[in-house]
Structure 1
Amino acid sequence: MSGNSLFVHHGKALNYRFHDQHPFHPIRLQLTLDLLHDLGALDSSQMLSYAPATEEQLLRVHHPTYLEAVKQLSSPSPDPVWISRAAQYGLMDDDTPYFAGMHEAASYVAGGSIAAVDAVMSGASTHALHLGGGLHHALSAKAAGFCVYNDVSVAIAYARHIYGARVLYVDTDVHHGDGVQWSFYSDPEVCTYSIHETGKYLFPGTGAVQERGEHQGYGACLNIPLQPYTEDESWMECFKESIHRVTDYFKPDLIISLHGCDAHALDPLSHMHCSMAIYSEMPSILHDLAHAYTNGRWVAVGGGGYDIWRVVPRAWSMLWLEMSHHPLKLSINQLSQSKLPTTWLDKWQSQTHVPLPTDWLDDLSRWEGIARREEITSKNRETLAVALQDYPAI
């Protein structure tokens, strides 16, 4: 498997930060960068800087009055009139409170995802990773779920407008990719796929199998809502079958995937029971699909993940190791070669009271079993069958 890869990053995207106690904290990205550097898996020749998204680019997805609200509330001392309107734009609640410099920081996040699309569609690279991206809950005129500007929707709209690309969007975050789905719900040239914990019990409450798109876009939307406490085997069974079917059916020019790693059992904001195994295997499947269907054109972004010490750095690093075809990725499953670098552990352990993992993969022999495993697996299979009923078998 050939192809070069770029790691898209800009320091100003780290300013996308609500406050120190907020679960969506940019230290997740710094931990991952440090881990990759300590591994010798990321050098300056692979890194791509970029400009912020322009208003024209943001307005392909977001409403003008919403952009104005974000800009006004980005002031260190916003006008009281705009503060009084903040709630109507989703910028006053605990999830997504307005903060100083918000517009610039969110514009840099969106700019990174656009730069990743440009790099791949122009032929500058085969794959591109923008871990600072993945704000998939933002709506046209409202912030939601830690997301101000929907960088993924902006990047997809850019790929459509500039390159005329037929885009398959793959969302593996534990929360439904609602903002991206609604942005392209009637567009037959953008297929949105989301595998997530059922919205019966989890934010944002959407993503049922019945959500299939509308008008000309009917059939270009696929949701796989899984039961709480789903484990690796059932998650991977549902993912493999559905992603192969939808990719073969849609035949995209470009794959854009979102890699929230909050389906892990340690994540505090969901109820799933997966391990690092899915974050090793799932990118490999997407990598193969990109080379089989899109001449390798693959853009990946970050997303959720709120066990920022034990889960996110490992999952996101494995994604880059896969995208860059690093030899370490091939050896991670071998126990003798699966240790994290001691330099990284020594640097960061003093920053947290949580014991950092020493291995890439989890030792599942120490995990408690799920009593309802058979029932959960059966229900997930039923959901999968309903979701795929309109997609021909390969």
Structure 2
Amino acid sequence: MVPVVYRPEYLTYDFGPQHPFSPQRLAMLVELLEELDPAWGPVAAVQARREDVLTVHAERFVRRVEAASQGAPPDDLDEYGLGTSDTPVFPGMDAAARWLVGGTLTGARLVSGGTARRVLQLGGGLHHAQFDRASGFCVYNDLAVAIHHFLEAGMRVLYVDVDVHHGDGVQWIFYKDPRVLTLSLHESGRYLFPGTGGVFELGQGGGTGYSWNLPLEPYTGDACYLEGFERVFEKALAWFLPDVILVQAGADAHFLDPLADLMLTTRAYERIFTRILEGAEQYTEGRVLFTLGGGYSFDAAVRVWALLYFLLKEQRLPERLPEGWRSRWGQRLGQTLGAELHDTHGPPLVPRRPEIERYNRSNVDRLLDVVSKYLTPG
């Protein structure tokens, strides 16, 4: 059995109707899975406690989230990344964020306790949240809380982030810790928020060499992305020898996404997810926890995450998506939704292809060369 962790309370993490990080994406996904899989039956998430959040966040920050959630925001909210256009305050924000943290922590407990090898957390992936600051739609860092749990269980963690934005919050929280290898593939920070994630962000102190970043040029497509992913992922596994893999499965590198400029198709996502599962079988006895993340084309993100669901469960992919679901959500969103899980057409023609490939390959070579100075192959 592959547990899928979910609670309807996830939908309360809601910055408002105009905000791109909309809970409608998750509601849409859950309705689709309910219709496609008669055996749908998620494991109920347990809400994270305040003490769980404090394992990776500053007390002063948590106090301000709590106060803002109760309608009494302090004057210095902006110093903590709150009340911005990216991360506006809303009533009950603390409780809503702790539901998402709790879902990822529930999944981590299932894996560390031996109850399950593969787990899908149907939410979370709030990778930008910092030790003492909210950032980029992320209030609390559920991924960091899960990593802390794995470390307490004596497990070495390979964190893999395929969101189009750099996984900066997770990186900085564990920047000095050699028990965690963070691997982020993302559109280069020269063009995209949060502006970090360069090859030479390698870690500090004992953690030097355990922060891996592969920044990619805008308009990077399937073949070039997968070439780089295969090389760095295999080296990370072989060098680090993790006990568990934690994956932030953001879907915003898809070519339909409105907030970024990578050009992946669902075929590339299928290969990425399959390769991670293969790596887990080879190196971690199958232990892997997936979360969701960014993804702002409702059509593309929901199809990518449904694809992940069926791959994890090793079920045959549905040939077509339910017409009733497509019609219902298409009317709500005012758009025509894809009829199949996989894209039925590819991205637009990509400009500057030779330059893109040369830049990306040089970054792969540079990354593997520099980290080889710090890590001993397993």
Q: Do both proteins adopt the same fold according to a TM-score greater than 0.5, normalized to the shorter chain? A: yes
Match of 1:369 in 2: 349
Q: Does 1:164 align with 2:144?
A: no
Which deviates more from structure 2 when the two are superposed, residues 172-181 or residues 4-13? 4-13
Quote the Cα distance in structure 2 between the aligned partners of 1:237 and 1:53: 38
String of CA shifts for 1:63-110, please: whole Å, max 9, x gaps: 0000100000001x315xx1x211111112100011100000001110
Please state whether the residue corresponding to 1:299 is helix, strand or coil: strand
Quote the Cα distance in structure 1 between the aligned partners of 2:269 and 2:350: 20
Deviation at 1:346, TM superposition (A): 2.6
Q: Does 1:350 align with 2:340?
A: no
Match of 1:334 in 2: none
Match of 2:313 in 1: 324
Deviation at 1:31, TM superposition (A): 1.1
Q: Does 1:28 align with 2:57?
A: no
- State the superposition RMSD in angstroms: 1.5
1:30 partner amino acid: A
Match of 2:69 in 1: 74
Where structure 1 has 5 or more consecutive residues not aligned to the other structure, the ranges are 329-336
Please state whether the residue corresponding to 1:351 is helix, strand or coil: helix
Match of 2:227 in 1: 237
Match of 2:128 in 1: 137
Match of 1:272 in 2: 262
2:173 pairs with one of 183, 186, 206 = 183
2:358 partner amino acid: S
Which deviates more from structure 2 when the two are superposed, residues 341-350 or residues 297-306? 341-350
Quote the Cα distance in structure 2 between the aligned partners of 1:303 and 1:41: 25
Alignment check: 8 A CA contact 1:129 1:301 kept = yes
Q: Does 1:204 align with 2:185?
A: no
Where structure 2 has 5 or more consecutive residues not aligned to the other structure, the ranges are none
Deviation at 1:154, TM superposition (A): 0.9
Match of 1:228 in 2: 218
Match of 2:182 in 1: 192
2:13 partner amino acid: Y
Deviation at 1:338, TM superposition (A): 3.6
String of CA shifts for 1:328-373, please: whole Å, max 9, x gaps: 2xxxxxxxx64222232132221122211112222346x4321311
Which deviates more from structure 2 when the two are superposed, residues 226-235 or residues 49-58? 49-58
Alignment check: 8 A CA contact 1:168 1:193 kept = yes
TM-score (normalised: structure 2): 0.96
Match of 2:82 in 1: 91
Deviation at 1:42, TM superposition (A): 4.7
Quote the Cα distance in structure 2 between the aligned partners of 1:151 and 1:262: 19
- Across the two proteins, how many residue pairs are aligned to each other? 374
String of CA shifts for 1:135-190, please: whole Å, max 9, x gaps: 000001100000000000011011112x1110000000000000000010010001
TM-score (normalised: structure 1): 0.92
Deviation at 1:393, TM superposition (A): 8.3
2:104 pairs with one of 109, 113, 117 = 113
Quote the Cα distance in structure 2 between the aligned partners of 1:142 and 1:348: 35
Alignment check: 8 A CA contact 2:306 2:341 kept = no
1:353 partner amino acid: G
